[in-house]
A and B are shown apart, each in its own frame.
Chain A
Amino acid sequence: MTTVTAEKQAASAPARIHFAGAGGIYLDCGDARIDVGVQQRIWALAEALRGGAHLDGLREIVPGVNNILVLFDPLALAPTTVRDWVLAQWERATACARAPRVVEIPVIYGGEGGIDLQEQAQRAGLGVHDYVALHSSAQFQVMCIGSTPGFSYLSGLPERLHAPRRSVPRLRIPRGSVVIGGVQAGVMPDAAPSGWHILGVTSAAVFDAARAAPCLFEPGDTVRFVAREVIA
């Protein structure tokens, strides 16, 4: 295991690089808090690793939140070579200022599809319509995709709406549920267990394995929720 400090870009946290098995390199630039500047560099790094700087034997490039996992065939590529290459690419990566895509998600807030809306509005000390106005006027950003197919971790939840996750997760919440958990927001690509709170439901298909691009969201996208109906 090697820990290397990248001091070139002093504005961001030092990069720590580790093996994740013989065929994995994990670069962690994170601190306790999400740093959007670091995240933009992570996306630039992912793009560089996928694009021009391609090495035969690379298998997966998985950006996380302020970190990245790179998987490769350790019989085709020497792990130390990949480690040094990823670190060199990281040092060259600069936050790309390209205009984000905007994805709008239509939502029916409250009612049977949004069973936690009333409780969350009370918790925030807001009326249901004011709560919805706040949630649907916020600009969310896709930080990373993972956990289950197509699940996107969205940053940008207004502070007033932050809410600890349920102490006991629900065994199954429906596909299309528009949810919040802690400081993050998301949309359930499929029915699954979850400890997040359900504000509403969308008909948007967030993940479809049969589509050319299975995921509706890409890291870096701006996401806006549009209130189609509010059931108070």
Chain B
Amino acid sequence: MMQVLTSGAMNLVQDAGRSGHLHLGVCASGAIDPLALRYANSLVGNAADAAGIELAIFPFRVRFERDSVFACTGADARIELDGRLIAPWWSCRVAAGQTLEIQRPARGMRVYLAVAGGVDVAPVLGSRSTDLKAGLGGMGGRGLKRLDMLALGAASADAPRRAGLGCVPGEVPALLAQIAQGCVSVRVLPAAEYEEFSADSRQRFEAAPWQVTPDSNRQGYRLQGAQTLQMAQRRELLSHGLVPGTVQVPPAGQPIIQLAEANTCGGYPKIATVIEADQWRLGQVPAGCALRFERVDVAQAVSALRAQHAAWQALAARLPLVATRLH
């Protein structure tokens, strides 16, 4: 068990997401930076789909009620265990009674906390992730509150030996550097109505910076540019299924990126889709930071995802050997 001592309503139990229910109107939800959660899980010996905690409100404090191993990944934040500084992207042993405190990140938006065995809330429709909008999954469909008790699942046999391992995917420092400079690039594929936007708008979509507005959350990010995007000929669309990463353009011409908790059906024209390999980046972009869209083709989108997945798989395969030699 662990007990939450300080939290905010946007700190959520999340896993790799809920799949297979989009046609019932149930969104994927899940970690908005899935790359960070996956690495955190590997560092503590969990399966990739184990549930951890997505932190967006700080400080977050939690007391462990049993000995365990944890890792924090994601944004660049100050982490302390009973006042001792702990490195991010590093697994660490914790004793029953110790308190972990995570401060507001200097760069990035969300920190992920994985604990050996995973957070063990009851799965809903096959997932432990919290769907805040629908109020289902996770901790009764809501964010974590002070004094919540979180059960932990059974840790893998080699979890205790994993303490003391660190790793950071190369893409993460690069992203944090972009965030510090105020402009993050993401790759996109053209979406269904791309060709129906005016040539000016298509050109502007890629050339201009699009600022993330404060009106942004797990459902989607509203963007603001100096000029708007317009279709050559406006037309009404019938309701259609939406995939996370879709960049919609409502009639006012300022785009919206649909994210993990997006409505499963929409009606606005879609200019682009952020490629799967870059969606995790969006989870770390704060309001006020700009986005730049770079168009790629589907083969590039697949190879980017394949490379990202292969890097993680190679790491996950090596970690058990390193863990054995550490102890």
Contact = CB atoms under 8 A, between A and B. Distances in A.
Interface stretch (A20-28, A98-106, A111-119, A123-131): A20-28
A20 B243 contact: yes
Nearest to A39: B238
Interface stretch (B21-29, B59-67, B76-84, B314-322): B21-29
B305 A149 contact: no
Nearest to A143: B239
A177 interface: no
Interface in B230-261: 235-243, 245-246
A107 interface: no
Contacts of A64: 238-241, 265
Contacts of B23: 46, 60-63, 145-146
- Which among B125, B276, B306 has the greatest number of chain A C-beta atoms within 10 A? B276
B276 A22 contact: yes
A28 B192 contact: yes
B136 interface: yes
A3 B136 CA distance: 38
Contact of B241 (A16, A32, A68, A210): A68
Nearest to B244: A21
Contacts of A207: 24-25
Q: What is the interface residue range for chain B against chain A? A: 35 or more
A66 interface: yes
Contacts of B306: 75
Nearest to A46: B23
A140 interface: no
Contacts of B194: 1
B218 to A, nearest CB: 14
Nearest to B131: A149
Nearest to B274: A21
A60 B20 contact: yes
Contacts of B241: 26, 60, 62-64, 67-69, 146
Given A24-B273, A64-B239, A79-B302, A18 B192 contact: yes
B207 interface: no
A59 B246 contact: no
Contacts of B263: 146-148
Given A69-B240, A153-B239, A190 B264 contact: no
- Identify which of B20, B134, B192 gathers the most chain A CB atoms within 10 Å of its CB: B192
Given A146-B265, A190-B135, A24 B243 contact: yes
A44 interface: no
Nearest to A151: B25
B302 A74 contact: yes
A164 interface: no
Interface string A61-93: 111111111010011001110000000000000
Given A68-B241, A214-B125, A32 B236 contact: yes
B246 A19 contact: no
A149 B26 contact: yes
Interface of B: 19-26, 124-125, 133-136, 189-192, 194-195, 235-243, 245-246, 263-265, 270, 273-276, 298, 301-302, 305-306, 309
